[in-house]
Structure 1
């Protein structure tokens, strides 16, 4: 794994925007606009490195599924902050019927520097973004700059194949709706949903658009409807389950939830059992089930202990996103227990390449490793000001 400075392509911004990346710049707190898509450098990997990372990702995915099954079997929903019995029942039923429910994609965030085993930082299996840039613009960048190279990137083909394979699980006779929140100002959620909608259409599915805010509830029929008053039989939503089940329509979501087997009237993708994987309590349960695993960091829910007391630790809110709410504590610091529920994970500072902190985003489609996206940050936490850099296999 190496970082290589390179001159950006002429007119790179227009190029990536035409490829679906309509948010190539990020506005920083000082008001300046700086590249989010950053092709002033790229990363290279060897094929054996990528093959080893693929094996690691698929092993971690299997371990996470085993941990999800343990949570359900042992009834450990409270460890995830799921205290509403109705939500817990819905998640458990979804898990038991998972073979009947479409589930498409997820993203691991890994610490890796090319010299040791990759370490799991977290798993976003419900609403992962940075998909568009990983699947499309970085592939075309490689075709332009390194036409003889390869890339860890089978995302597009695997997504189309996943929709085609799972099409029989969708309710017949109605389109698959794709929904994002209209509160998204940057266009990232919109374009992520647009891209997934395109892959579903290439798989032969009938689709339609809607924003989460436009979804209505028909009290006469007890069903969700779109803005043309058609029943929403199935819906891919880029909207976290913890929001979906707790906003003002949350009760209706649970009442009408199609969890497979012909129950309910609305099937949501990703399914409710993905709540088990997108919660950072999973990290602590993984460490409990697989202590000292080479790809895990020590993690606990009741405060920093074990290796974290000597190496330092990161306190992560159970449902935080894009680095929000994460605090880092240096080795030897006095234990601090936060009021909000957190996972306390052994500190593993992100590797620095030319002064840039790097995290690997490794994608899973269905149950297989499918691609890589790399983000760099200036600080120790990968946040909303991170940059996306392309990669090649040389």
Structure 2
């Protein structure tokens, strides 16, 4: 694994606009979101053995997640499951529905589309799980665009100052893997009859871009006749503040309804279950939604059981469950901040990372020692639900950016990677997307 210099393609912004979702943010040089906005662009090169190691780790971690959930939802003593759900600060009104979401097999199990593991991959070959993006895994648009970058580079820029190795490829099967999982979901959820609605936050462009990409994969690769629609979280307004489309609603029987008050039988959402549940509590509709979810009549992607995996407290429980197993090689020592054990105390005295149970994109995360914080991100209100403390691992660095590997798991199989970099050791929202290549050849060898 090593950084390599690449050129900034003369028409890179135009290529992004013509070949990418997230086009505005990727092609904006001021935001420095795509690597070609830098004075010296770069990529990360892996050899094939490293690609295999990341794929192996990804599939092993997913297998561990399945074993973890099987354990999590079994009462060995009365009240075990409730105690675990309470430790994750999940609203008790949804406990039954969450457990049934994992156990349900009839008429069809509660299916997942994808997950993304944030991995630290070190120069020494260690691969460690830092976080699980199980419930709202973004970066699909960026994953696909980096492939379009590679194709363009190999076709048009191999005679530049920095050519790629002639055997350059990419660990990137996202599009095909998503298409395969859409086929399973389309059959299991009978999307031809029911259609599917895509819930996005109207204030977040990346939500809409991810939804539009998934709709394209569904219609182009599965069935163009499946009905799809965009549903906005709070409603869409024009420049004068006038509502032009109502937002997501809930009827008296606990069904989600769209902007014309039709029930939504199948919903894909880019909105955390915890936030949605808080919204329902504020609206006084918790009981109706919880009862409807328990029946399984509404199908939600990602399903309720993903709420457990996406909670960082699950990482502490995984460590306790698997620290003496074959999965230890992929795990960082992790504890709930309420843990007063000797091992947790020792970790607190040394270098560690403090993360809120909820939150994403580095919010409320801090790198600490026993003497205080060395680096921290703003909390934006997160952290009241509690924290975990996690063993610190140094991320690799290239051209002033610390970078982490996002590895996709789709239907239990590794489906490619996306790399994010940050000048901070805590990867935040305004990060850098870094393309990668896979090659065993360090030199450009023309045909």
Task: Deviation per CA, 1:14-35: give whole Å up to 9, x if none.
Answer: 32133212243599xxxx9232
- Say whether the 8 Å CA contact 2:173–2:415 is kept in structure 1: yes
CA distance in 2, matches of 1:231, 1:276: 26
CA distance in 2, matches of 1:339, 1:128: 23
2:233 is aligned to 212
Task: Deviation per CA, 1:1-60: give whole Å up to 9, x if none.
Answer: 111121111221232133212243599xxxx92320113111111111101110001111
Is 1:298 the equivalent of 2:333? yes
2:33 is aligned to 36
CA distance in 1, matches of 2:384, 2:268: 34
- Residue 273 to residue 59, structure 1, CA distance change in 2 (3 Å): same
Matches within 5 A, 1:133-212: 133-134=142-143, 136-146=144-154, 148-171=167-190, 173-184=193-204, 187-201=205-219, 202-204=221-223, 205-212=226-233
- Say whether the 8 Å CA contact 2:199–2:233 is kept in structure 1: yes
1:245 is aligned to 277
CA distance in 1, matches of 2:102, 2:359: 23
Could you say what secondary structure the match of 2:181 adopts?
A: helix
CA apart distance, 1:105: 0.3
Counterpart of 1:78 (choices 80, 86, 96) is: 86
Is 1:367 the equivalent of 2:412? yes
Is 1:229 the equivalent of 2:261? yes
Task: Deviation per CA, 1:68-126: give whole Å up to 9, x if none.
Answer: 222221311112112x3321111101011166122110100011123222111000100
CA apart distance, 1:137: 1.1
CA distance in 2, matches of 1:126, 1:109: 13
Instruction: Give aligned pairs, total.
Output: 379
CA apart distance, 1:310: 5.6
CA apart distance, 1:340: 4.5
2:15 is aligned to 15
CA distance in 2, matches of 1:361, 1:67: 21
CA distance in 1, matches of 2:428, 2:319: 25
Is 1:58 the equivalent of 2:55? no
Is 1:280 the equivalent of 2:312? yes
Question: TM-score when scaled to structure 2?
Answer: 0.79
CA apart distance, 1:198: 1.4
**What are structure 1's unaligned runs of at least 5 residues?**
none
Counterpart of 1:314 (choices 350, 353, 364) is: 353
- Say whether the 8 Å CA contact 1:105–1:363 is kept in structure 2: yes
2:436 is aligned to 391
- Say whether the 8 Å CA contact 1:17–1:23 is kept in structure 2: yes
- Say whether the 8 Å CA contact 1:313–1:328 is kept in structure 2: yes
- Residue 33 to residue 77, structure 1, CA distance change in 2 (3 Å): same
- Say whether the 8 Å CA contact 1:300–1:344 is kept in structure 2: yes
- Say whether the 8 Å CA contact 1:171–1:234 is kept in structure 2: no
CA distance in 2, matches of 1:307, 1:165: 46
Question: TM-score when scaled to structure 1?
Answer: 0.90
**What are structure 2's unaligned runs of at least 5 residues?**
75-79, 156-166, 235-246, 374-382, 440-447
Q: CA RMSD in A?
A: 2.3
CA distance in 1, matches of 2:50, 2:400: 22
